[in-house]
Amino acid sequence: MNTDFIKGVVVPILTPIDAMERIDEARLRDQVDYVINGGVSGILAFGSNGEFYMVEEDEMERGLKIMVDQAAGRVPVYFGIGAISTKKCCHLARMAVANAAAGISVLQPMFLKPTYQELYLHFKTIAESVPDVPVLLYNNPGRVGYTLTADLVDELAHTVSNIVGMKDTSGDITLTSEFICRTRDTGFKVFGGKDTLLYASLCYGAVGGVCTAANFMPELITDVYNKFIAGDLRGSLEAQFKLNPVRLAMDPASFPVAAKDMSMLRGRDMGLPYRPTLPTPEGAVKEGFRRSMASAGLL
């Protein structure tokens, strides 16, 4: 299985919606072009910032078709799966593959806290439902309440042939390094999942990052990666230091409001989050967005 394309900055693309809470096709197509022109190496449909938890399955399929069509082979489009049920995950995986997703990304089940063996069988079963397609694990303990362990990832990487990589959003660089260290003999591809740790993840051997802020400042995120790959470590680190205040300014806002608000500040209307009654940040929080973005030369 060729996994050479699994690398670089992958954007968990925002899902623009209209007043009827349907995906806004024109805005989504424009966002696909924007991030590709900004230098990203891949698009993750319906990741956390893509609000997978709010989108109905038929809309997910429609959105994926739009993204694949608009990307037109310029970059791979991955499909994010965040369902709890193994059966539903398998169904979504097959749907994604039928619609030309280049790979799938699977979040560990939320709300539940499965045992080691239950998690192993969960991921193994999903991967076996799409045996010819690359499967990436998605570790996000901050959202689901527990982490994937290095032992589990090690076993999955060595025993399930099409589980070929992961995104680690733990923010624990020691854990990220363990994922990389234990699987490096298999060609397993680890992405950093924290924008602020892209440089650090690359130093340990990550193949790239899945970066939220690539939705509204792709040129700065990709600068970290491109300079690192070119051997300009000092330049890469300086780019990391430049973007970090912008990314950290997002934290006082309710997830995932900040990414859409920061996009708006750059003149990119991504619509409201899928919770239309949720107000966007105002006052000190929004001023923090503006100040950090202005300091980074984004406004």
Residue 6 clears pLDDT 80, i.e. is over it? yes
Residue 282 clears pLDDT 80, i.e. is over it? no
Q: Find the catalytic residue in 34, 87, 124, 167.
A: 167
Phi, psi of 160 (to 5 degrees): -115, 110
Domain assignment present for 3: no
Nearest to 79 by CA among 50, 41, 119: 50
Mean pLDDT for 175-200 is 97
Domain assignment present for 262: no
Q: Find the catalytic residue in 34, 78, 138, 225.
A: 138
Where residue 288 falls among pLDDT bands split at 50, 70, 90? confident
Amino acid at 274: Y
| First-to-final CA distance of the chain | 43
Nearest to 33 by CA among 57, 16, 55: 16
Within its chain, how far is the Cα of 42 from the centroid? 10
Q: For residue 108, what is the DSSP state?
A: P
Domain assignment present for 30: yes
Number of domains in the chain: 1
Annotated catalytic, 138? yes
Domain assignment present for 253: no
Domain assignment present for 158: yes
Annotated catalytic, 167? yes
User: CA-CA distances (angstroms) from residue 136 to 4, 77, 156, 260?
Assistant: 14, 13, 11, 26
Domain assignment present for 285: no
Q: Identify the CATH number of the domain in which residue 192 sits.
A: 3.20.20.70
* Token pair listed for 232: 């300009």
Domain assignment present for 292: no
* DSSP class per residue in 172-185: -HHHHHHHHHHHGG
Mean pLDDT for 210-225 is 95
| 8 A C-beta contact, residue 66 and residue 55 | no
Mean pLDDT for 78-85 is 96
User: CA-CA distances (angstroms) from residue 66 to 27, 29, 101, 122, 149?
Assistant: 11, 7, 11, 29, 35
- In 3-state terms, what secondary structure has residue 204? helix
Tell me the residue range of the domain where 74 lies.
8-218+225-232
Domain assignment present for 131: yes
Residue 276 clears pLDDT 60, i.e. is over it? no
What local confidence, expressed as pLDDT, does residue 43 receive? 98
Give kind and range of the element (H or E) at residue 119: helix 116-129
